[in-house]
Structure 1
Amino acid sequence: MAWQKTFTLSKRAKGCHLVTDEILNNIRPGIENVKIGMLYLFIQHTSAALTVNENFDKDVRKDMDMALDIIVPENLNWLHTDEGPDVSHTKASLVGSSIAVPITDGRLNLGTWQGIYLAEFRHIPHSRHIVATILYDLFAIICSFTNIRCSDI
Structure 2
Amino acid sequence: MQQAQTRIAISTRGQALYEFTDEAARWIAGTGIATGLLTLFCRHTSCGIFINENAAPAVQRDILAWLARVAPEGAGYAHDDEGPDDMPAHIRSLLTGVTLSVPVADGRMVLGTWQGLFLAEHRRVPHTREVVLHLIGE
TM-score (normalised: structure 1): 0.82
Gap runs ≥5 in structure 1: 139-153
What CA RMSD, in Å, does the superposition of the two structures yield over aligned residues?
A: 1.4
Kept in 2, the 8 Å contact 1:39–1:100? The answer is: yes
Provide the C-alpha distance between the structure 2 equivalents of 1:12 and 1:3, rounded to a whole number of angstroms: 29
Aligned to 1:83: 82
Instruction: State the match for 1:119 in structure 2.
Output: 120
Query: CA deviation digits over 1:39-68, x for unaligned, max 9?
Result: 111010001000000010011110100011
Q: Secondary structure at the match of 1:131?
A: strand
Q: 1:12 aligns to what SS in structure 2? A: coil
Kindly report which structure 2 residues correspond to 1:59-138, keeping only aligned pairs within 5 A, or say none: 59-85=58-84, 86=86, 87-136=88-137, 138=138
Name the aligned partner's letter for residue 112 of structure 1.
T
- Number of residues paired by the alignment? 135
Whether contact under 8 Å (1:48, 1:121) holds in the other structure is: yes
Q: Which has the larger radius of gyration?
A: 1
Contact 2:8 2:131 in 1 (8 A): yes
Once the two structures are TM-superposed, the CA of residue 7 in structure 1 deviates from its matched residue by: 2.7
Answer yes or no: is the 8 Å Cα contact 1:15–1:121 preserved in 2. Answer: yes
1:26 deviation in Å? 4.1
Runs of 4+ in 1 over 2 A off after TM superposition: 10-13, 22-28
Relative contact order, CA 8 A, sep 6+: which one is greater?
Answer: 2
Pairwise CA distance, 1:25: 3.7
Once the two structures are superposed, what CA deviation does each residue of 1:65-105 show, in whole Å capped at 9, x if it has no partner? Answer: 00111111112011111111221011101210011111110
Q: What is the TM-score with the length of structure 2 in the denominator?
A: 0.91
**Structure 2: 5+ residue stretches without partners:** none
